[in-house]
A and B are shown apart, each in its own frame.
Chain A
Amino acid sequence: MCYQCCDWFKQHRPHLVEKRDSNGLNMEGAVDSDTSSITTEEPQTEAKPSSDQVTNTETDSISNTEDAATDNSQSDSGEFVVTMLAKAKLEEQGLGVKGRSSPLLEAGTQDMPAYMSHREEDVTAESWRQHRKHVFVLSEAGKPIYSRYGSEEALSSTMGVMMALVSFVQTSDNIIRSVYSDEHTVVFLQKGPLVLVCVSCTRQSEQQLRGELMYVYYQIISMLTQASISRIFEHKKNYDLRRLLAGSEKILDGLLNLVDSDPSFLLGAVHCLPLAASLRDSLSQILQKAITSNLVFSILIAKNQLLTIVQEKTVIEDARLEPADVHLLLNLIGASSAFQAGEIWTPICLPLFNPDCYFYAYISYLDPPECTVCLLLLSTDKEAFYAVAECKRKIEEAMTAQNSLSLIDKAQSYSVSQVGVSDLRHFMYKPFDVPDNYRQLSQFTSPEMEAPYSSEEEKTRLLDLYRYMHSRIHSTSRPLKLIYHVAEKETMLAWVTSKFELYTCFSPLVTKACAITAITKLLRWIKKEEDRLFIRYPPKYSTTPNPSKSSRSSKSDQQDSTDNGFLSLL
């Protein structure tokens, strides 16, 4: 086992202490065959796009072959970490257990009766321990706030141990970042008074796991705001934050499921529904015309994907809407089927836009009872419900007049076969050169996952391969620009340039030369289709005569909205 402990402030290069487990366990046993085949990866040398190429000589980054700077003063806490984790029963399985199912399968959910919610799971059961990815949130005082599986109460001792870990390392001015065992990666993230912990047996990189914890943190902020969380814990160190988050577990559960199944989170980009440019423009114009003062964003969503976003001019000059904020909004809508009835008016904070202020979101479905087309209008004015609801009526009218709903209904994702490149099975393409880019949302495009990636297991396996490629491309110690990776059942090629980031998946028999030609064709196809695949020129409107009224720039106006009134209940 090894653990990694890093000085938060210097943060140059993580100190890494390596400690071999006494029985010198071979990792192969625990690794499923596909991921282990990653070691067959070979350096890519004669690819055509060679100008950007970096030769990769590393054979396997998964095992502990990275340079280790031994730091004796830390090895005691290393022991401590290991024993504490063992006590917390996070690590018990593994070494001797044979016939363990693939870590890619969510073992727990199989054994569990469908009617039983994850929250009622027996946390002492083997199935609980075998979940692919656990996520815990606790307060600095060690109070449980959230657990993905099992109730927080049942896990309070485990969380106590985690907090002991965090504070133990803190006493020596360090911040605990991660703990590795043969099967698990434990990643810690401290944000203000909250500590987030991920225990994963996926083979994701620490960086990726930390990114996922950030999303969890942001989702909590989106409900409570950063300012009020700080104020609460300043006021009362051992406050039980579950009081304020009660009822929101489903939103966090939903987020973690999305993070596991939707590559948008990995890429930090939004996926929009392919739509004829003329239709997208006409929808944007409808939104652009239905405005009221203090309205800042109008967003149209179909089948959980973006159709269009129209933004208030002055606000967007201030700051752009970040993909992560859009992801949180989409998750909020998806996780609350209650939204399908009535018109919702709710405060929501967009943490990357401004972590301390609320927007007020109007959410309504335009096509009841199917409820696939959703309108989201964001205002800075808490009292604006009726004015904003009136905008919806206008939008509804205009859409009826233009028959938009039935046109939207026909829109769908595309098949990779439309690209017309044999051997290409799937891809994800994220351009950096969208016009008006610096004010524009990052986007990516990707076809449906089709055979052989139709089953949940295969989808997950492909996503895991993408995650692996992504972690290599974005490795902090040795970033790569091009990876050609021959796996057992497919061949993967990832390529990042100043203009785009591309991940492709080919049938295993493809040759390198073929793959390069295929990519050239693919890029040409995307170029041809880009008006349909992306929101090209996000329209703007002007609703705010006085720019200082925007949620971001005037904090004094909005002071009352930072805590949404719940602080008075403390």
Chain B
Amino acid sequence: MPEVSKLKKPDVKLVLLGDMNVGKTSLLHRYTERKFKDTVSTVGGAFFLKQWGPYNISIWDTAGREQFHGLGSMYCRGAAAIILTYDVTNWQSLVELEERFLSLTDTANHDCIYAVVGNKADLTDLTAQLPQTSDLGDQTKSEESQVLSACPTPPASPVSISGVLLRKQVTHDDAVALYGRILRYKCLDEKSTLPAEKMCFETSAKTGYNVDSLFETLFDLLLPSILRKRNENQESPTVDLEDCRTSGGKRGKASCC
């Protein structure tokens, strides 16, 4: 039924930002395909339409390479949520978020939600080496988790999975501090916006640790935006982007969740 596919208008937009090699593509792949596989460094940006319940969420997986810097603001235009991704084993990747990527978010919606995500936690934390059982009832297990459950070694000695743990270069506190600076950059009031504890994640695309939780949390938080946008679309068949942005209250969001 081609007619139906034509009507699949995205409800909201989510953008993955972060330096090259931090694992943006891997995170998205883990979430949508439940797998961790070899990736190729992303060229430009890749657009996906993700069905979430009755809603359509458009996701931009952007390239972290400097070569594509200029496109960032285009991908972020009108975004409702932005995932700022770094690599927990690489301090510079956190620095880049502030120096290179934060300014790209200027074109996002005024009520855009920000998440700060430290990926590759499996390299530094024992707990992240175990896949988190998804609370969504999604029983599809990844290859890694099958290997894991087949492995007789108790969780206490996960060294056998990835060998030696690496030194963690970015702590959770560093990420929380960055989140605070992002709010200040956006001139948002810390009290009325989402708390850092809720919006700073440590994940592993490799084991799946915290990945579902990251995306599901964001989608839940986006629900008010989705519903509002659907409403607006019903009221006026022509969508005015400017209108969308100004009517999106910062306050309404926090109280909704």
Q: Establish whether residues B65 and A247, one from each chain, have CB atoms under 8 Å apart when the complex forms.
A: yes
Q: Of A244, A346, A389, A393, which contacts B45 at CB under 8 A? A: A346
Answer yes or no: B219 CB below 8 A from chain A CBs: no
| B46 engages A224 (CB within 8 Å) | no
- Give A83 to B5 CA distance when docked, in angstroms: 67
Q: Are B67 and A342 in contact (CB under 8 A)?
A: no
> Does residue B95 face the partner (Cβ distance < 8 Å to A)?
no
For residue A59, CB closer than 8 A to chain B, the reply is: no
State which of A338, A383, A397, A569 has its C-beta within 8 Å of the C-beta of B25.
A338
Q: Which of B54-102 contact A (CB under 8 A)?
A: 61, 63, 65-72, 74, 100
- Is there contact, CB below 8 Å, between B40 and A382? no
B44 at the interface (CB under 8 A from A): yes
Is A24 part of the binding interface, using a Cβ–Cβ cutoff of 8 Å?
Answer: no
Chain A residues contacting B63 (CB-CB under 8 Å) are: 247, 346
Which of A223, A343, A385, A564 contacts B69 (CB under 8 A)?
A564
Q: Contacts A342-B48, A345-B44 given: A564-B71 contact, CB under 8 Å?
A: yes
Map CB proximity to A onto B172-200 as digits: 1 under 8 Å, 0 otherwise: 00000000000000000000000000000
Query: Whole-angstrom distance between the alpha carbons of A337 and B70 in the complex?
Result: 23
Residues of B within 8 A of A338 (CB): 25, 39-43, 46
0/1 interface trace, chain A 216-250, chain B, CB 8 Å (1 if under): 00000001100000000000000000011111101
Bound together, the chains give a CA A569 to CA B69 distance in angstroms of: 8
Q: Are B45 and A345 neighbours in the complex by a CB distance under 8 Å?
A: yes
Cα–Cα distance between A361 and B46 once the two chains are bound (Å): 11
- Is A514 engaged at the interface, CB distance under 8 Å to the other chain? no
Which A residues touch B100, using CB under 8 A?
569
* A564–B41 touching, CB < 8 Å: no
Judge whether A332 and B67 touch: CB under 8 Å: no
| B5 & A346 in contact (Cβ 8 Å cutoff) | no
Give the residue of B20, B46, B65 whose beta carbon is less than 8 angstroms from that of A341. Answer: B46
Per-position 1/0 for A523-567, Cβ under 8 A of B: 000000000000000000000000000000000000011011110
Q: Which residues of B contact A141 (CB under 8 A)?
A: none
* Nearest-neighbor residue (CB-CB) of B42 within chain A: A338
Question: With a CB–CB cut-off of 8 A, which chain B residues contact A561?
Answer: 70
User: Are B47 and A389 in contact, with the CB atoms below 8 A?
Assistant: yes
In the assembled complex, which residues on chain B have CB atoms less than 8 Å from the CB atom of A245?
67
- With both beta carbons as reference points, the residue of chain A lying nearest to B48 in the complex is identified as A342
Is the CB–CB distance between B20 and A247 below 8 Å? yes
Asked if A564 meets B67 with Cβ closer than 8 Å, knowing A247-B20, A344-B44, the reply is yes
Complex formed: what's the CA distance from A564 to B48 in Å?
Answer: 23
How distant is the Cα of A332 from the Cα of B41 in the complex, in angstroms?
A: 12
Residues of B within 8 A of A243 (CB): 66
Query: What total of chain A residues lie within 8 Å of the partner, measured CB to CB?
Result: 39
Evaluate contact between A569 and B66: CB separation under 8 angstroms.
yes
- The residue that B70 contacts in the complex, of A247, A335, A400, A566, with Cβ under 8 A, is A566
Q: Which residues of A contact B29 (CB under 8 A)?
A: 341
* Other-chain residue from A224, A345, A397, A400 in contact with B67 (beta carbon distance below 8 A): A224
Chain B residue at minimal CB-CB distance from A335: B40
CB 8 Å contact bits of B23-48 with A (1 = contact, 0 = none): 00100010000000001111111111
Distance in Å: Cβ of A225 to nearest Cβ of chain B: 10
Bound CA–CA A347/B68 (angstroms): 8
What's the minimum C-beta distance from A462 to chain B, rounded to whole angstroms? 31
Question: When the two chains form their complex, are residues A346 and B70 in contact, meaning their CB atoms are under 8 A apart?
Answer: no
Known: A247-B20, A566-B69. A393 touches B6 (CB 8 A): yes
Contact across chains for B44 and A566 when beta carbons are under 8 A apart: no
Alpha-carbon distance between A568 and B41 when the two chains are bound, in angstroms: 22
Given contacts A338-B25, A346-B43, contact A248 B6 (CB under 8 A): no
Q: Is A336 an interface residue (CB 8 A)?
A: yes
Q: Bound state CA distance, A344 and B40, in angstroms?
A: 13
Chain A residues within 8 Å of B39, by CB:
338
A501 interface residue per 8 A CB criterion: no
Partner among B5, B25, B42, B71 whose Cβ is within 8 Å of the Cβ of A347: B71
Q: Does B2 contact A (CB under 8 A)?
A: yes
Q: Which residue of A lies closest to B39 (CB)?
A: A338
Closest to B103 in A: A568
A341, A346, A400, A564: the one within 8 Å of B2 (CB): A400
- Asked if A212 is at the interface (CB within 8 A of a chain B CB), the reply is no
Task: Please name all residues of chain B whose beta carbon is closer than 8 Å to the beta carbon of A385 when the two chains form the complex.
Answer: 47, 74
* Given the contacts A244-B65, A248-B41, A564-B71, A344 and B46 also touching, CB distance less than 8 Å: yes
In contact, A396 and B2 (Cβ under 8 angstroms): yes
Q: Which residue of B lies closest to A563 (CB)?
A: B70
Q: Would you mind naming 6 contact pairs between A and B with Cβ atoms under 8 Å apart?
A: A224-B67, A250-B40, A336-B40, A338-B42, A396-B2, A565-B71
Known contacts A243-B66, A336-B40, A397-B2; 18 further A-B pairs (Cβ under 8 A): A246-B66, A247-B41, A247-B65, A336-B43, A341-B46, A341-B48, A342-B48, A344-B44, A346-B43, A346-B63, A347-B70, A347-B71, A361-B44, A382-B71, A385-B74, A396-B2, A565-B69, A568-B69
